[in-house]
Amino acid sequence: MPRRAIPHACDNIRNSNRRPPRLAVAAMLLGGICLLTAGPAEARGATLMAGAAKVDITNRDAGPVNDPLYARALVIRSGETTAVLVAVDAVAIGEIGYITNEYLPTVRATLNDELGIPPEHVLINASHCHGIVCTDVAERTVQAVKAAVEKMVPVTVGAGSGHEDRIMENRRLKLKSGREVDVRHAYSLPPDDAVAEVGPVDPQIGLLRLDREDGTPLAVVYNFACHPIQGVPGGANTADITGFSSKVIEENLGEDVIALFLQGCGGDINPIDYKDVDHPRSAEPLGNMLGLSALAGVRTIDCREDDRLTVINETLTLPRGDRTERIAELESKQRQLLQSLRGTSLSLKTFLPLAVKYSLSDDYPSYYSHRYLHDDALGRSDLRHLDAENRRNIQAYMRNIHTMEELTRVQTNLRLLRKHQASLVASGKRTVDVEVVGMRVGEFVLVTFPGELTVRIGLNIKKASPHDHTFVAGYTNGYIYYAPTAEQLLNVGGAQEDSDCILAPEWQAIFEGKAAEILERL
Ligand SMILES: [Zn+2]
């Protein structure tokens, strides 16, 4: 279970505009950044200020590196409100992977102490790539934010979107049985003819563009839903798809431009061809496509003077799921599958050549056709009998194989269910507190959540929002595993998202209601 306590008291709505101008003081400490010491926005005619920077967070002691991982920071200020957006190339903000639970509170406390930035105005999103970050990632993240503060200049802003639908697929497969499984390396897929339909994707790339006063771009924030887990040939450390897309955007927009990727509702979205075994899997072409599609969108955005900057940070209490019944059902399924395995005449060694032979010819699989015709002419049917027996044995062997494959799925899901059930019991309570943030920068509106939201959640929130440019980022300010829809949670035990989840189905309505309320206020 999440050991993380929400690291600051943010139970109440924080209206960012009422905060004191602490950054101005901190900026002086940093060495006289005079732009930040200007008076309140109203007095100056409301200029939005922003700076962006990135710092390498690659762990270079952890084996070969294909491409660097970064912490990218964007600091935005309007009047007395300062907000920090950090995008890290890591799997999660605490709980799993290489970033510890201390990371977020440490970064926030340091930024509060040294720069006067309120903790609840610091948003940190993990791209969810599976790269390995350095052990001093917290210090380096603070460095990135400080470097961004030092580069702050007046900016114009604009929001928009791009479109990309070639690089990803929904990984949940609806089976003809009504159950759902997912496309994982952790287990085999069901037979093709068991699959009835696949789920949706969200092709929208949410965009925030910040330009300097001379019209040159300073930073781009882009939001997209897809697990960046394609890897690179050879398996070296990589920031994966979204590392490549950020590189493409930065290289094309010019020197000193920072492209911050915010992972969206990618909980059930895989890279396309995720289980390809015929070509080396590579994140680079997918990332290049995403980057170019983001750029196409960025170029349509007209940046204007707009000083709106709001952060609403709330703690939401969500119900945890009790999986006792589902675990019992799955254990019974496991026993039943095990007991259904039958003795077979064939072994792998005899099965494989027979499977090839019997797929090449329906009528004459065992030998040339003339031998069959010869037997027919003499009234014999020895080969036909042999074929019938071999076909029965092939079928029996394949039934065992499919049962074994189903067992791999059941056992993986059972392990996850037992892990989260144990943490529920150990926690001694039935709820979990999560941090939900709403942020507005000009026309760009963002809602964040710390779990792996599945794509339908994002599509729902965008559809219900009163704002044109509404985007949703999971994987932000903490990590509480997967957050599938209530309907998907009826399927617990089938797709890994549903088992690697601590929430009860009611969580979805509570979160979507809170998101709608925050959006209304932004
Ligand atoms: Zn994931």
> pLDDT tens for residues 118-131?
999 999 999 999 99
CA–centroid distance, residue 478 to ligand 1 (Å): 14
Both tokens assigned to 459: 């599509």
Q: Are 357 and 365 in contact (CB under 8 A)?
A: yes
Residue 328 half-sphere exposure toward CB, CA atoms < 13 A: 3
Name the E strands within 283-368: 309-319
CA–centroid distance, residue 405 to ligand 1 (Å): 22
**Closest CA relative to residue 30, chosen from 111, 119, 138, 127:** 111
Both tokens assigned to 164: 């990309």
Q: Are 170 and 200 in contact (CB under 8 A)?
A: yes
Sequential DSSP letters for 101-134? TTHHHHHHHHHHHHH---GGGEEEEE------B-
CA–centroid distance, residue 226 to ligand 1 (Å): 9
Residue 443 half-sphere exposure toward CB, CA atoms < 13 A: 18
Write down the pTM of the prediction.
Answer: 0.89
pLDDT tens figures, 362-418: 999 999 999 999 999 999 999 999 999 999 999 999 999 999 999 999 999 999 999
pLDDT tens figures, 451-501: 999 999 999 999 999 999 999 999 999 999 999 999 999 988 789 999 999
Using CB atoms within 10 A of its CB, is residue 101 exposed (0-12), middle (13-18) or buried (19+)? middle
CA–centroid distance, residue 143 to ligand 1 (Å): 28
What pLDDT does residue 41 have? 36
Q: Indicate the residue type of 416.
A: L
CA–centroid distance, residue 267 to ligand 1 (Å): 6
| Predicted confidence (pLDDT) at residue 297 exceeds the cutoff of 70 | yes
| Predicted confidence (pLDDT) at residue 226 exceeds the cutoff of 50 | yes
What pLDDT does residue 411 have? 94
The per-residue pLDDT of the chain, averaged, comes to 92
Cβ density class 13-35: b for 16+ within 10 Å, e for less = ebebeebebebbebbeeeeebee
CB count in 10 Å sphere of residue 309? 24
Name the pairing type of β-strands 180-182 and 172-175.
Answer: antiparallel
pLDDT tens figures, 233-282: 999 999 999 999 999 999 999 879 999 999 999 999 999 999 999 999 99
Sequential DSSP letters for 385-398? HHHHHHHHHHHHHH
CA–centroid distance, residue 92 to ligand 1 (Å): 9
**First-residue to last-residue Cα distance in the chain:** 32
What pLDDT does residue 491 have? 86
Comparison of pLDDT for 10 and 191, the residue scoring more: 191
CA–centroid distance, residue 130 to ligand 1 (Å): 9
Q: What percent of the chain has pLDDT over 70?
A: 91
Q: What percent of the chain has pLDDT over 90?
A: 89
Q: Are 485 and 512 in contact (CB under 8 A)?
A: no
Give me the mean pLDDT over the 328-351 stretch: 97
CA–centroid distance, residue 182 to ligand 1 (Å): 12
The DSSP secondary-structure symbol of 457 reads: H
- Contacting residues for 346 by C-beta, under 8 A, at least 6 apart: 354, 393, 394, 396, 397
Spatial distance between the Cα atoms of 138 and 381, rounded to a whole number of angstroms: 76
pLDDT tens figures, 14-65: 334 434 444 444 543 343 343 343 333 333 446 999 999 999 999 999 999 9
Overall residue count recorded for the chain in this entry: 522
CA–centroid distance, residue 496 to ligand 1 (Å): 10
Spatial distance between the Cα atoms of 58 and 434, rounded to a whole number of angstroms: 28
What pLDDT does residue 46 have? 65
What pLDDT does residue 31 have? 39
